Structure 1
C-alpha cells in the first residue's frame, strides 16, 4: 500500500522537470482565468503604470534632465544602465496587482532600455588587429605597484597608459616595465609606455594647474598614431551639493580642444575620464571619438569600483582607427580595473 501511494504521488505531482512545468502551466492558467472577465484588471495598478511611464521618460529624455541643480543630469547618465533593474521590479508589482494596465506600461521602459543598451549585450568582437593598447588608474595608494605593473604588462599591450602615478612609486613602475617596454615617458601623474618609438611627447594643459594629461606620437609598424593619456578630475556626490563635477567638465572641454587640434588623423585616448560615455559633460571628447567597448566589446565593461564595478569611467577611445575587441583585465591592487583593446590601424576610417 505504501508503494502504491508513492507511485500515485509521483504521477500526479512529482518533482521532475515535466511535473514542474505542469505546475507552472496550471498556475498561469489559474492566474489568467482569475483575470479573465474582471474589469478591475484595467483599473488596478495605476501607480505602477505611472512609475513605468516615468521610468521610460527618464531613460528616453535623460539628455533633457537639467544639470543646473546638483548636476542631476550627469548623475543620472552616469548610472543610466542600472535603471533597467527597475523594470523587473515593476513587472513583479504589476503581476502582484494583477493589472493589465501596469503590464502594458512596463513594456515601455523595457523597450527604451533595450534600445539604449541592448547592443552592448551582444559580442561585437572580431579577429585581427594591429595594436593592443591598455590603460589603468593604478591608484596613488596602491600597496603593490610592482605587481600591478607586471599584471597589466601581461595583457600583451603594445602601448600602456598609467594614471594616478604617485611620484614615489614611479621608479617602481619604471623598473617593473623596463623589460617589456623600451620607450616611456611620465608627465606629472600620468605615463605612457610603448614597445615602439615615441616622439613629440608633451604635457597637455587641461586647466588644472598641474599635469594630469599628456600627448605622444607613437611610430607603429603601420605608421604614426597620436596617443593621449588623461586623468580628469574626480567627481563627488554630496548630499548638500549633488553631483559636483565642474572642474571635471572644464578639463574635459580642454582635453577635447587639444584632441580636435591634433594634426595626426589616427588618435587614441587612454585614461580615467571620471565619466561614462552617456555623460553629456564629456561631449567635448565623446563627440569626436568613439569607445572601443561600445564598438567592439561584449557587455558594459564596467571598470569602477574594482570590488563591484558599477560604471565604466576608464576609457579607450579612438578616431581614424577601427576597434576589433575590447575587454577588462583582472583586478590589481587598485580600486579600478585595467581595460584593454585591440585595434586595426590599416582599416580605420
Structure 2
C-alpha cells in the first residue's frame, strides 16, 4: 500500500513511478500550486509577462533609447544595473497570480541582467601590481578637508587625484598630504599628489572656460605614465528639461580628444566623470580606455552618493597598463566615496 501511494498515471495510460521534478519545473509547480495542466494558469498574468518582456528589451536595447527627450537614454544607462530589481518584483507578481506564462517571461530579464552584470558579482582582483592610484571628489563644502586628505593617504596610494578643490581649502590639503607625497600640483579645482616626480604638468581644456582637468607625467620606478585628472560638469534632472547633461557631454568629448592625442603609451585617468561606464555620452573616453573596476574589481564599486551609493561616477580608467585590483575606500566628509586601484606596468623596452 505504501508503494502504491507513489504511483501515478503515465503518458501511456498505465501507471508507473512518479518522477521527481527539478529546476524550473519544480519552481513552476510551487508557484502555480501544481496546476501546470490547468489552462487558466497560462492565461493569467499576461500584464506581468508583458512588463517582463519590456524590462528585458530596455536592458538589451538601452543604446537605442533616444537622448533627445530629456537625455532619457543616458539616464537609463546611468542606473541600468538597478533595473535588475524589477526581476524579483515581477517574480512575486507571477507567484501571486499563479501564472506559468508570467513565470517563464520573468526568466527573460533575469537572464539578460545576468549576461550584462553577472560578471561584476565575482571578485576579479589579482595579486601584484606596480602602482596604486586613488581618486576622490572631496566636495567643495567638505567640513573636514584635513581628515579627508589623511583618509585618502592612508589607502597607501602612490598617486592621488582630488577634485572639487575649493581654493581656500587647498593649503589644508597640501599640509595634510605633504608628509606622504613629495610632489604635487593643483590646476584650477583639481590636483594631483604623487610619491614620484611630476613633469610636463598642464591644464587640459575641456571647454568650460575654467580649469577642471589636468595632465602630468609621473616618473615611476617602472617608467613614465601620463596621468589625467578630470572633473566633468554635473548633470541635472529638471522637471521642464529632464536629464540635462549637454555641457558634461561636450567636456567628455574634449577629454577624449586629449587622451587620444597622448604621446605616452601608458595612460591613467582619475576623476569624477559624472557618468557611468554604460553612459553613451562618455564614449569618447570609454571607447579607448578600460575601467579598473570592470576589469579587476569586486562588485559594482558604486561611489555616489556616499550615504547610499547608487552609481559609479568616480572612475579610474587605464590603457597601456594592466588593472590588477580596484576597490572603494571608506566614507570621508565628502558626498562621494574615494576609489582606488592597483595596476601593473611592465617595463618598456
Per mean C-alpha deviation after superposition, the further-off stretch among 32-41 and 159-168 is: 32-41
State the partner residue of 1:263.
263
**Contact persistence 2:223–2:347 (CA under 8 A):** no
Q: How does 1:283-302 map to 2 (within 5 A)?
A: 283-302=283-302
Between structures 1 and 2, the one with greater helix share:
1
Contact 1:133 1:342 in 2 (8 A): yes
Deviation at 1:124, TM superposition (A): 0.2
Q: Are the counterparts in 2 of residues 322 and 347 from structure 1 also a CA contact under 8 Å?
A: no
Structure 1 residues 83-232: aligned runs within 5 Å = 83-232=83-232
Give the CA deviation at 1:299. Answer: 0.2
Q: Is the 8 A contact 1:302 1:309 kept in 2?
A: yes
Deviations 1:103-146 (A, max 9, x none): 11001100110010000000000000000000000000000000
Alignment check: 8 A CA contact 1:288 1:319 kept = yes
Whole-Å separation in 2 of the counterparts to 1:149 and 1:82: 32
* Contact in 2 for aligned 1:321/1:347 (Cα 8 Å): no
Matches within 5 A, 1:266-277: 266-277=266-277
**Residue 38 (structure 2) pairs with residue 41 (structure 1):** no
Distance 1:347 1:73 in 2: 41
Q: Contact 2:36–2:100 (CA<8 Å) still a contact in 1?
A: no
Compared CA separation, residues 99 and 330, structure 1 to 2 (3 A):
same
Shift of 1:238: 1.2
Deviation at 1:36, TM superposition (A): 3.6
Q: How far does residue 239 in structure 1 lie from its aligned partner after superposition?
A: 1.6
CA distance in structure 2 between the partners assigned to 1:212 and 1:270 by the alignment: 12
Task: Provide the rounded CA distance (Å) in 2 between the counterparts of 1:210 and 1:239.
Answer: 28
The whole-number CA distance in structure 2 between the counterparts of 1:274 and 1:238 is: 16
Residue of structure 1 in register with 2:304 after alignment: 304
Deviation at 1:290, TM superposition (A): 0.7
Does structure 1 retain, via aligned residues, the 8 Å contact 2:32–2:100? no
CA distance in 2, matches of 1:308, 1:36: 42
Q: TM-score, normalised by structure 2?
A: 0.91
| CA-to-aligned-CA distance 1:150-182 (integer Å, 9 cap, x gap) | 000000000000000000000000000001000
User: Aligned residue for 1:233?
Assistant: 233
Q: Indicate the residue corresponding to 2:19 in structure 1.
A: none
Gaps of 5+ in 1: 1-25
Given the superposition, is the C-alpha separation of residues 31 and 269 from structure 1 closer, same or farther in structure 2, using an over 3 Å criterion?
closer
Distance of 1:28 and 1:277 partners within structure 2: 37
Q: Secondary structure at the match of 1:108?
A: helix
How many angstroms apart in 2 are the aligned matches of 1:241 and 1:161? 33
Structure-2 residue corresponding to 1:11: none
C-alpha separation in 1, matches of 2:301 and 2:240: 31
Partner Cα separation in structure 2 for residue 180 and residue 338 of structure 1: 17
Displacement after TM superposition at 1:52 (Å): 0.3
The CA deviation at 1:208 is 0.1
2:344 and 2:113 mapped to 1: Cα distance?
31
Looking at structure 2, the residues matched to 138 and 30 of structure 1 have their Cα atoms a distance apart, in angstroms, of 51
Could you tell me which residue of structure 1 aligns to residue 339 of structure 2? Answer: 339
Q: Distance in 2 between matches of 1:194 and 1:343?
A: 15
4+ long deviations beyond 2 Å: 26-34
1:29 to partner: Cα distance = 6.9
Quote the RMSD (CA, aligned, Å): 1.5
Q: C-alpha displacement at 1:260, in angstroms?
A: 0.2
Bigger Cα displacement from structure 2, 28-37 vs 51-60: 28-37
Shift of residue 34, structure 1, vs aligned partner: 4.4
